[in-house]
Amino acid sequence: MTTVLPVREDDAAPSTRGLVADRIAMVALFVFACGWFSWGIKTPSLWRDEVVTATMVSGSPIAIFDVVHHHFDRVHFVYYELMWAWTQVFGTSEVSLRAPSLVAMAITAVVVFVVARRYVSWLGAMCAGLVYVLLPSSTRYAQEARSTAFIVAGVAIATWLMLRAVETRNNRYWVAYILLMSGLCFLNLLVPLALIPHAAYLYRKVTVRTLALLWAPVFAASAFVALISVHQRGQVAWIPGPSLEQLLLGFGSLAGGALPALVVAIGVLGTVVWTAVGRRWNEVGWILAGLLIPFALLAVSYVKPMFVPRYVMFVAFFAALAMVIAAARIHVALPVVAVVAVLVLGWPNQTLLRTPASHNEDFRAAAAFLQAQTTRDDAIVYATPTIRMGLDYYAPKGLPAADPLAVPARDGLLPGNAPCAADSTAAFARVWSLVLVRTADVECTSGKHLVSRRYFGTLVLNLYE
């Protein structure tokens, strides 16, 4: 059984003029989003996850496979290979590494418009797209060299494919939907959580058998990635157990700050009330179901702690739709108010995101400081390999100080640390140690005393003499 989604009468047969206006809006929104996300993209230093990306793509595809197979990040293998291909053409500068994420987030904004246009006017749909662009969380992940933006864009496009498949009864859309959703699992094994709003939409539109055929490849792909990554589960050992505080902080993170989250919450609450009063659950209830994803992730976290908001950042796609649809139906001016509110209340977060340490560690400033302050009589020790990667990226020719704990890179890519012997740093006048906030210092200072401490975001530089 397959039924067609009821659409608004004014959208059922759009005029040629309306189609042209929509296409102009899509192009304008994409261009604006690219410009907005480009603003300040070079300012934040790469943080530790991003320098892992930079390090991985510096090797060959075979070297990348060897690293993820023997050491870590099997779940990111496909992303690293895609980025390797990209950097072969465009290089490994900060802008080049982040540009694919920027484009992916801009595409997501366009999909927000396209989906919203099924329910509201041209202006309302444009406002939905602008709300998504102006959320600080969108900026954060558009300016990050990781797979988050790819996943968000993929879920958004898959959602549109699902809508088109039901509306047109064209199996080509279903094939594209299955392939995309299954492929996304090779970027994030939690992608099946996006099936919650999809299930709400498909309820009574397709048979259970059809649903099983559609989703079997998706769950199989997710299970496969989980199976091959199970021995690397220590990579998520740092994630704390679930709690109400985590959930509240998570919603703030999904919007990019407390005040933007408040605006989203008010908009979503209005849509819930409007939907309940008008009994419109069959029409827009599936969009609201997308906001249940964080609760589902919290439930999963009681089995295995996994509650990290960026893992389900695609919730923001559904949130932008949910907060504008009712507003546009109630009064034409309300979506504009929503855009202004997100912009004004999110402005402090937007400016903060465009500061050097906004992505946690400021490796760029730390490398510049050490380049200027250290000599050949000094030693530098690193608490983790990722800190060493960050300094290597911003000081590719090396630092003046010695690196007594350096060992040959594993599989030609991953730098490591040798165990600290009693005399590893004894011959050096000064020892600089680099650690992360809230982690133990490197115990390799040969009895020297701490004389200074500097912070570069969440990166801590200690000096011992």
Helix or strand or coil: residue 461?
strand
Taking phi over 0 as left and psi of -120 to 50 as alpha, with beta for the rest, 268 belongs to alpha
Dihedral pair phi/psi, residue 266, rounded to 5°: -65, -45
Which ranges in 13-75 belong to alpha helices (H)?
16-38, 48-56, 61-70
Q: What is the pLDDT of residue 18?
A: 75
Whether the pLDDT of residue 15 is over 70: the answer is no
Residue 138 amino acid letter:
S
Residue written as token pair 């040959």 = 408
Dihedral pair phi/psi, residue 376, rounded to 5°: -70, -15
> What is the average pLDDT across 436-460?
88
Which two three-digit tokens encode residue 111? 């999909």
Q: What is the pLDDT of residue 2?
A: 45
**Cα separation, 411 vs 63, whole angstroms:** 6
**Cα separation, 328 vs 122, whole angstroms:** 10
Residue 144 amino acid letter:
E
> Based on C-alpha coordinates, what's the Rg of the chain?
24
- pLDDT (tens digit per residue) in 288-305: 999 999 999 999 899 888
Percent of the chain with pLDDT over 90: 74
**Cα separation, 255 vs 265, whole angstroms:** 10
The burial class, CB within 10 Å (0-12 / 13-18 / 19+), for 347 is middle
Taking phi over 0 as left and psi of -120 to 50 as alpha, with beta for the rest, 305 belongs to beta
Nearest Cα to 464, choosing from 378, 387, 345, 395? Answer: 378
Distances (CA, A) of 246 to 44, 237, 282: 26, 16, 31
Q: What is the pLDDT of residue 10?
A: 41
Whether the pLDDT of residue 337 is over 60: the answer is yes
Whether the pLDDT of residue 6 is over 50: the answer is no
CB atoms within 10 A of CB 54: 22
> What is the average pLDDT across 254-265?
91
Query: Which position has the higher pLDDT, 220 or 239?
Result: 220
Dihedral pair phi/psi, residue 442, rounded to 5°: -75, 125
Sign, Cα dihedral of 433, 439, 441, 442? negative
> What is the average pLDDT across 373-381?
94
Whether the pLDDT of residue 16 is over 80: the answer is no
Whether the pLDDT of residue 7 is over 50: the answer is no
Q: What is the pLDDT of residue 58?
A: 92
- Residues listed for the chain: 465
Please, which pLDDT band fits residue 400 given cuts at 50, 70 and 90?
very high
319 alpha carbon, distance to own chain's centre: 16
Which two three-digit tokens encode residue 249? 């902080």
Average model confidence (pLDDT) across the chain: 91
**Cα separation, 347 vs 96, whole angstroms:** 26
Q: What is the pLDDT of residue 442?
A: 79
Whether the pLDDT of residue 11 is over 50: the answer is no
- pLDDT (tens digit per residue) in 102-119: 999 999 999 999 999 999
Whether the pLDDT of residue 5 is over 60: the answer is no
Parallel, antiparallel or unpaired: strands 430-436 and 378-382: parallel
Query: Which position has the higher pLDDT, 403 or 246?
Result: 403
92 alpha carbon, distance to own chain's centre: 19
Taking phi over 0 as left and psi of -120 to 50 as alpha, with beta for the rest, 412 belongs to left
**Cα separation, 62 vs 302, whole angstroms:** 37
Q: What is the pLDDT of residue 72?
A: 80
Q: What is the pLDDT of residue 248?
A: 85
Please, which pLDDT band fits residue 14 given cuts at 50, 70 and 90?
low
105 alpha carbon, distance to own chain's centre: 10
Contacts of 13 (CB under 8 A, 6+ apart): none
The burial class, CB within 10 Å (0-12 / 13-18 / 19+), for 83 is buried
Q: What is the pLDDT of residue 165?
A: 96
Whether the pLDDT of residue 70 is over 90: the answer is no
DSSP assignments along 68-123, one per residue? HHHTS-GGGHHHHHHHHHHHHHH-SSHHHHHHHHHHHHHHHHHHHHHHHTTTS-HH
> What is the average pLDDT across 317-339?
94
